[in-house]
Structure 1
Amino acid sequence: MKITTVIPAYKSKYLMELLACLVHQSEPPSQVIFSDDTPDFAFAKVLYSEPVKSLIAHLNVTVVEGPRKGAHANWAHCVNAWGGRTELLHILCDDDIVYPLFYEQHRRAHMAGTFSSTVSRRWYANETGQLTRMALEVPEVMANHPMRWHALDAKTLFTSNVTRGANWLGEVSNVVMRAETALLVRERQQVGISFAGLEDLGSFVCGAMTNPVCFINEHLGYFRTSPTQNSAQTMGMPLKLAHLAYITLGIIGRNMGVISAEEAHKCVEAVTPAFLWHYRGEEDVRHFCEVLPQMVARVPGAESLFLQLWSEFSK
């Protein structure tokens, strides 16, 4: 099985670290595609110049011009640039790092069964790449299990992530996807309901409705933290979308028969207090702040109103 790595590229200051982690893979991906979203083609200038061009020749690197329309547009552009040419796809964010056995372990896991995605554990690092004592926390039963690989179905993933308003799977950099899951990242919707804001988690759990996810109980990379990234901007649009997308994923899971109505309601109960705490005074989400308590109270028609608001807000 072959893996294509696509990189939605914007932050060029980490490029040399990124190339180093790819060059030192025990089993490199079959091709690497950069979608250069910088205004001055900063990635292309380096990648197509010597000595870098010769040093990375074995990685089969291609650079395509990015859409310059935001993060998700570049993710979608990466998926389109890949175009299904290999069985597996890895979206590697330009500030994250994967360790030398990353592709070998993920490919082996995919060859062991039919999985929608393979998900490995990861460390956190500071902006300079120095590892911290923190890692993405996973359920204790998973962390302490003696087996290295675990097959997880959609029910397990929805109830341990979505209904709690949590995400222990991570994001695209620590996941290798089959084609059908990669397309979910691009489309970011299921049964006509968007999960914009949680394109990563939404694709993983919805993909598991078709085939299970294989969890690899090894730390095979790190997530670089920075005060400028979206997850650190509490009042920004990406996090507003992410909060609300947990609720839409709960509705999707219920509508698809993966979780019960009561389990979907737990998601509303989990997300609403945090959403109101952060955003009660924000004009752009004022109507959500009004309708969410109604959903918690099970007021008839509240969910329909929420979905109408969401349809516009998530465009």
Structure 2
Amino acid sequence: MPTITTLIPAYNKEFLGETLLGLARQTFRDFRVILSDDSPGDEITQLIQSGHYGELGRTLDLQVVRGPKNARLNHQALIDRWAGDSPFVHLQLDDDVVFPEFYRSHIAAHQTGRFSASVSRRWVTHGDTRPVMGINQPAVVAQSPLLHVPVDADTLFRTMVPTCNNWIGEFTHMVMSAEGARAYPRPPVDDLSYYGWLDVGFVLTAVQKAPLVIVRDHLGVFRQHPSQTTHHMNTGIGRVSSMAWVTTALLAWREGRISHADVVTAITWNVGQCLQRFGEDDAVINEFFGLIQAHGANLDQLYAAYKPFWLRVLAMHPATAPSAATTRQEPAFA
């Protein structure tokens, strides 16, 4: 059994070579890679089998499987395929890159205590991997003298949810413990959950079981480019993501983790973002606006009215419907 299983939900072939190179250069070598090919016509599988990526395909302990042809379900299917088969698991997105000391640094962080996940800092880049900017961290982390900073549930909720600020980052820059990975978010059946933004939902759920540990080194890059999912939000999945902070804030308030004023702040910001993104011509988003206008003065009433709306929105798309929680595993290609 390897120490780490690396899961790559692969769709975009444009940057995959750099992603694989980042893994091949890791100084900590006790890991295996499962790549789930979601590309049209299994194009990535053909490229790997033809030797397009050169030595990378042979340097890595790499297994290629056929993906479900849906980004959210591809993440979920990989987690299901891994099924706890290593002490740690890493969801490496196909357009991001990790630096050579990434795994060594994350394992060192986990060795300092019991954590649901380790999270390192990342540089933001554009089409290439040259850093453009970093992401600010809250004072409790930024001003710590420690390299490895534990973050408990109270701290994470207070610094993330009211301002709708994902300062933690994306899955690429986390290494989950097997215990923590059990909190990977699934579509809810009968009530609100932290399912929405998958990375946000994961950390807010997992931190309730065990703290996060923040590694205050920049150990990778988050690539922003025109073809990434967050640039194409006018879809069913995009609506779910766009409204997810309201779901998160209402549930956090219901659980006593943030204040009434915090929820108002989060809802105000989220509504503004939806207005910018969708305007007033989207029927689903307009219903969302109507619920907040009708019930926003009373959070108990808003929660009661919003819950069936949210569950219905999730059920409208096969990738977010509760039935999507069980995925069929495809056989390995290579």
Equivalent-residue separation in structure 2 for 1:5 and 1:188 (angstroms): 23
> What per-residue deviation string (whole Å, max 9, x for no partner) do you get for residues 247-276 of structure 1?
222233234443345544443243233334
Checking the alignment, whether the CA contact within 8 Å between 1:118 and 1:214 is kept in structure 2 is yes
Checking the alignment, whether the CA contact within 8 Å between 1:163 and 1:270 is kept in structure 2 is no
Equivalent-residue separation in structure 2 for 1:269 and 1:25 (angstroms): 43
Q: CA 1:2–1:163 in structure 2 vs 1: closer, same or farther (change >3 Å)?
A: same
Checking the alignment, whether the CA contact within 8 Å between 1:137 and 1:168 is kept in structure 2 is yes
Equivalent-residue separation in structure 1 for 2:259 and 2:127 (angstroms): 41
Equivalent in the alignment of 1:57:
58
Equivalent in the alignment of 1:214:
213
Equivalent in the alignment of 2:99:
99
Q: Alignment partner of 1:185: what SS?
A: coil
Q: How does 1:99-118 map to 2 (within 5 A)?
A: 99-118=99-118
Q: CA 1:200–1:300 in structure 2 vs 1: closer, same or farther (change >3 Å)?
A: closer
- Please report how far the alpha carbon of residue 29 of structure 1 lies from its aligned counterpart in structure 2 after TM superposition: 4.8
Q: How many residues align?
A: 313
Q: Please give the TM-score of this superposition, normalised by the length of structure 2.
A: 0.85
Equivalent in the alignment of 1:89:
89
Aligned Cα root-mean-square deviation (Å): 2.4
Q: Taking every aligned residue pair, what percent have the same amino acid on both sides? A: 28
Specify the code of the residue in structure 1 equivalent to 2:204: V
| Structure 1 spans left out of the alignment, 5+ residues | none
Equivalent-residue separation in structure 2 for 1:139 and 1:294 (angstroms): 34
Equivalent-residue separation in structure 1 for 2:197 and 2:265 (angstroms): 18
Specify the code of the residue in structure 2 equivalent to 1:151: P
Q: CA 1:255–1:135 in structure 2 vs 1: closer, same or farther (change >3 Å)?
A: same
Q: CA 1:228–1:50 in structure 2 vs 1: closer, same or farther (change >3 Å)?
A: closer
Equivalent-residue separation in structure 2 for 1:294 and 1:156 (angstroms): 32
- Please report how far the alpha carbon of residue 18 of structure 1 lies from its aligned counterpart in structure 2 after TM superposition: 1.4
Checking the alignment, whether the CA contact within 8 Å between 2:183 and 2:202 is kept in structure 1 is yes
- Please report how far the alpha carbon of residue 238 of structure 1 lies from its aligned counterpart in structure 2 after TM superposition: 3.8
Q: CA 1:299–1:124 in structure 2 vs 1: closer, same or farther (change >3 Å)?
A: closer
Equivalent-residue separation in structure 1 for 2:167 and 2:78 (angstroms): 24
Structure with the bigger RCO (C-alpha within 8 Å, sep 6+) is: 2
1:302 aligns with 2:267: no
Equivalent-residue separation in structure 1 for 2:216 and 2:47 (angstroms): 35
Equivalent in the alignment of 1:19:
20
Q: Please give the TM-score of this superposition, normalised by the length of structure 1.
A: 0.90
Q: Alignment partner of 1:13: what SS?
A: coil
Checking the alignment, whether the CA contact within 8 Å between 1:121 and 1:217 is kept in structure 2 is yes
| Structure 2 spans left out of the alignment, 5+ residues | 316-334
> What per-residue deviation string (whole Å, max 9, x for no partner) do you get for residues 40-91 of structure 1?
22222233344857554352110111011x2100000111121110011110
Equivalent in the alignment of 2:33:
32
Checking the alignment, whether the CA contact within 8 Å between 1:247 and 1:267 is kept in structure 2 is yes
Checking the alignment, whether the CA contact within 8 Å between 1:269 and 1:296 is kept in structure 2 is no
Q: CA 1:300–1:4 in structure 2 vs 1: closer, same or farther (change >3 Å)?
A: closer
Q: CA 1:5–1:193 in structure 2 vs 1: closer, same or farther (change >3 Å)?
A: same
Q: CA 1:295–1:164 in structure 2 vs 1: closer, same or farther (change >3 Å)?
A: farther
Equivalent-residue separation in structure 2 for 1:293 and 1:29 (angstroms): 53
Equivalent in the alignment of 2:44:
43
Could you tell which deviates more after superposition, 95-104 or 56-65?
Answer: 56-65
- Please report how far the alpha carbon of residue 112 of structure 1 lies from its aligned counterpart in structure 2 after TM superposition: 1.3
Checking the alignment, whether the CA contact within 8 Å between 1:126 and 1:224 is kept in structure 2 is yes
- Please report how far the alpha carbon of residue 239 of structure 1 lies from its aligned counterpart in structure 2 after TM superposition: 4.0
1:119 aligns with 2:122: no
Equivalent-residue separation in structure 1 for 2:56 and 2:21 (angstroms): 10
Q: CA 1:289–1:99 in structure 2 vs 1: closer, same or farther (change >3 Å)?
A: same
Equivalent-residue separation in structure 2 for 1:61 and 1:187 (angstroms): 27
> What per-residue deviation string (whole Å, max 9, x for no partner) do you get for residues 135-179 of structure 1?
122224422432111111111111111121221011111111122
Equivalent-residue separation in structure 2 for 1:37 and 1:233 (angstroms): 17
Q: CA 1:64–1:17 in structure 2 vs 1: closer, same or farther (change >3 Å)?
A: same
1:248 aligns with 2:242: no
Equivalent-residue separation in structure 1 for 2:187 and 2:143 (angstroms): 33
> What per-residue deviation string (whole Å, max 9, x for no partner) do you get for residues 74-125 of structure 1?
0001111211100111101100000011111111111211101111110111
Q: How does 1:1-315 map to 2 (within 5 A)?
A: 2-50=3-51, 52=53, 55-68=56-69, 70-132=70-132, 134-189=133-188, 192-279=191-278, 280-298=280-298, 301-315=301-315
Q: CA 1:265–1:55 in structure 2 vs 1: closer, same or farther (change >3 Å)?
A: closer
Q: Alignment partner of 1:272: what SS?
A: helix
